[in-house]
């Protein structure tokens, strides 16, 4: 049988590039299809639907697409019955309450009785309910940041990333309500063949994500401080150690997590490591 898994991705916009890049790192080439809404993938038994991100949860819930990639914010906003398979680490942003810079925001109770403009009314509604707040929700589909300036709203609930859009509209972020990033979602009733394909795709994504979170590190270490240095970079199992041509020195190869990277480098230098090289990892399978 010649089964393919159908993946829905954003046709154009903030998620498109990150999605195509991730798939490409997974060895899956998707032509952007020009004006077409369907594309074939090379390197994986997959068909790709190119859609507006708002429509992806519905397509996946209905089984028109088996899986989809979109922002967690949009998944939660639409509230469709889909499985969130995993986070993907790109298109990171947050959904926040922002108010005009001059406002002295005293806390969430300040929002009571106010008009809040947003493109995410359902997430906002849940937030207000959880906090027993009564506010007016004004739903608009774009340019939310201009609404306080033109007297349409007292506050906004919008996506924030660098904060640049808020700043240029004289607004300040006062409360982060949720963090978002691109996620992989799946239909809850996939057949066994498609579950197997999804597992294969997840395996590739995991290898790519691990590689992105880690760096390969090579350094020279003096023999008398070898154990101390090994303790700093334990690696996947243990570091590779090779003797250098120069007596009393060794070359150490290992893996270091991106989060600890700068701290570890400092400690390695203090421990006498020299000639430290750090290189990106293409794929990582443990």
Ligand X SMILES: O=P(O)(O)OC[C@H]1O[C@H](OP(=O)(O)OP(=O)(O)O)[C@H](O)[C@@H]1O
Contact footprint for ligand ATP (CB under 6 A): 10, 13-15, 52-54, 71, 73-74, 91-93, 159, 161, 180
Per rule CB under 6 A, is residue 164 in the interface with ligand X? yes
DSSP classification of residue 223: G
Minimum distance of ligand X from residue 120's CB (angstroms): 10
Tell me the three state secondary structure of residue 140.
coil
Our CB check for ligand ATP shows the closer of 34 and 107 to be: 34
The entry of ligand X, ligand ATP, Mg ion, none that residue 43 binds, CB within 5 to 8 Å by partner kind = none
Per rule CB under 6 A, is residue 14 in the interface with ligand X? yes
Q: Using an 8 Å Cβ cutoff, are 98 and 155 in contact?
A: yes
Angle at which helices 192-213 and 16-25 cross, to 10°: 90
Site for Mg ion, residues 65 to 124, rule: CB under 5 A: none
Q: Contacting Mg ion (CB under 5 A), which of 4, 27, 47, 54? A: 54
Minimum distance of Mg ion from residue 234's CB (angstroms): 44
Per rule CB under 6 A, is residue 141 in the interface with ligand X? no
Per rule CB under 5 A, is residue 53 in the interface with Mg ion? yes
Q: What tokens does 34 get?
A: 């020009």
Per rule CB under 6 A, is residue 121 in the interface with ligand X? no
The entry of Mg ion, ligand ATP, ligand X, none that residue 163 binds, CB within 5 to 8 Å by partner kind = ligand X
Cα 142 to its chain centre, rounded Å, is 22
Minimum distance of ligand ATP from residue 168's CB (angstroms): 13
Tell me the C-alpha to C-alpha distance, in Å, between residue 46 and each of 4, 23, 66: 5, 11, 10
Taking the CA atoms of 273, 256, 18 and 161 in sequence, report the sign of the dihedral they define: negative
Per rule CB under 6 A, is residue 165 in the interface with ligand X? yes
Q: What is the CA radius of gyration of the chain?
A: 24
> How far apart (Å, rounded) are the C-alpha atoms in residues 14 and 25?
18
Minimum distance of ligand ATP from residue 127's CB (angstroms): 17
Our CB check for ligand X shows the closer of 155 and 186 to be: 155
Q: Which residue is nearest to ligand ATP (CB)?
A: 71
Block residue for tokens 């949009």? 74
> How far apart (Å, rounded) are the C-alpha atoms in residues 254 and 261?
12
Q: Which of 140, 143, 139, 149 is nearest to 171 (CA)?
A: 149
State the residues that interact with Mg ion by CB under 5 A: 53-54
State the residues that interact with ligand X by CB under 6 A: 14, 142-143, 145, 158-165
């Amino acid at each position: 049988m010649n089964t393919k898994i159908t993946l829905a991705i954003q046709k154009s916009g903030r998620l498109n590039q990150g999605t195509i890049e991730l798939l490409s790192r997974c060895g899956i080439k998707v032509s952007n299809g020009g004006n077409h809404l369907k594309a074939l993938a090379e390197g994986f038994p997959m068909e790709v639907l190119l859609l507006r991100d708002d429509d992806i949860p519905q397509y996946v819930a209905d089984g028109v697409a088996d899986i989809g990639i979109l922002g967690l914010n949009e998944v939660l906003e639409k509230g469709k019955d889909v499985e969130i398979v995993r986070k993907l680490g790109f298109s990171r942003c947050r959904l926040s309450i922002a108010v005009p810079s001059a406002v002295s925001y005293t806390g969430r109770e300040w929002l009571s009785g106010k008009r809040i403009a947003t493109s995410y009314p359902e997430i906002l509604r849940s937030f207000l309910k959880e906090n027993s707040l009564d506010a007016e929700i004004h739903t608009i589909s774009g340019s939310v940041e201009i609404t306080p300036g033109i007297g349409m709203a007292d506050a906004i609930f919008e996506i924030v990333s660098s904060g640049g859009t808020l700043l240029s509209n004289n607004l300040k972020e006062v409360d982060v309500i949720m963090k978002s990033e691109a996620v992989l979602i799946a239909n809850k009733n996939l057949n066994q063949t498609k579950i197997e394909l999804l597992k294969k795709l997840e395996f590739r994504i995991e290898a790519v994500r691990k590689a992105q979170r880690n760096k390969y590190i090579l350094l020279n270490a003096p023999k008398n401080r070898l154990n101390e240095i090994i303790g700093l970079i334990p690696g996947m199992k243990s570091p590779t150690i090779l003797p250098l041509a120069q007596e009393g020195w060794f070359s150490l190869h290992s893996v270091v997590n991106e989060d600890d990277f700068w701290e570890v480098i400092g400690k390695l230098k203090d421990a006498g490591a020299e000639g430290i090289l750090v290189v990106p990892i293409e794929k990582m399978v443990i």
